[in-house]
Amino acid sequence: MGMLSVAGLVLTMDGVGPIVDNAGGIAEMSGAPPEVRDRLDPLDALGNTTKALTKGYAMGSAALASLLLFQAFVLEVARYQAKLFDLTAITAGQASLLASELTSLGTKLALNQPAVVIGALVGAMLPFVFSGTAISAVGNGAYKMVEEVRRQFREIPGLREGTGKPDYAIAVDISTKAALRLMVAPGLIAVVTPLAIGIILGWTAVGALVIGATVSAIPLAIMMMWGGAALDNAKKYVEGGKLGGKGTLTHAATVVGDTVGDPWKDTAGPSLHILIKLLNTISLVFIPLFLVSLIAL
């Protein structure tokens, strides 16, 4: 309830970034005087900072949801193992059986169990693999967009001089298709991995996978969201005339940093909180499959 009470403030802070960013782009495209852009750049840097703060809020809510879902996962495992499918009509004997199952789960999730160690290691690596594929997807989509812009400059008469009109529809089509097609791999990683681990190693490995992914995803997401905003603002800082300004090697380095920072703060970082919630949800839904597979093995 405490987090929900500031939802309005968070949404407001999250809206500052896109608004001032688009205002700067419109000012540049419309040929506004340079002093207009100079006044909008500090606001753009402020918007990047507020967006980073609100993304941290989203990660905090995801961590809380992950904790609650993991508790539900443990209770569901105990309920299935004790064969208590009707908790509304629980008897004293069933309650004792459920309590014993919950007690024994602590030993089954011990760190000296091979399945638990393997699941934790895979879970800890999963956010890094997921982030890598997401960042790669952004880069591939950007390259396709650059090639299309170059094609239009070559083939549309007067475009470079400002007398021709670019074909915006193709650019939007490339972005949409790339966003859908290139993010299939990260989505499959999040869905297939817990299913494969659960079928092969059982529910204990899945529980360890969820914990490992949550523990590594939270600091990784914080690094990406705040680091990406810092890289973006570093470029704006140099473009404002500091450290030599535009056209210097320092500015070229900050442009490279911003190319890395954008997918960090806008794609990989915010998507990690979706990853950990998705892993928890899949692990909870497919508990019967994991238990049956473990019995079969």
Listed residue (141, 130, 225, 132) closest to 176, CA to CA: 141
51-65, 82-96, 252-266 — which one is most confidently predicted on average?
A: 252-266
Tokens of 193: 């991995």
**pLDDT at residue 66 greater than cutoff 90:** no
What are the extents of the domains in the chain? 2-296
Whether the Cβ atoms of residue 271 and residue 186 lie closer than 8 Å to each other: yes
Token duo for residue 254: 């900050």
Q: What is the pLDDT of residues 160-208, one digit of tens each?
A: 777 788 888 888 898 888 888 888 888 898 899 999 998 888 888 888 9
N-to-C CA span, the chain? 44
Name residues whose C-beta falls within 8 Å of residue 56's C-beta, 6 or more positions apart in sequence: 222, 225, 226
Q: CA-to-CA distance for 172 and 252, rounded, in angstroms? A: 28
Do 297 and 202 contact (CB within 8 A), yes or no?
yes
- Contact by Cβ (8 Å): 229, 52: yes
What percentage of the chain reaches a pLDDT higher than 90?
Answer: 11
Are the CB atoms for 54 and 14 separated by under 8 Å? yes
Average pLDDT, the chain: 82
Distance from C-alpha of 209 to C-alpha of 63, rounded to nearest angstrom:
15
Query: Phi-psi bin for 289: left (phi > 0), alpha (psi -120 to 50), beta?
Result: alpha
Average pLDDT over residues 267-272: 87
| Residue 131: band (very low, low, confident or very high) from pLDDT cuts 50, 70, 90 | very high
pLDDT on residue 100:
56
Residue 27's pLDDT is 85
Provide the pLDDT for residue 85. 45
The pair of three-digit structure tokens given for residue 273, joined into one six-digit string: 């909180």
Helix ranges, 109-248 (H): 114-155, 168-181, 184-201, 203-239
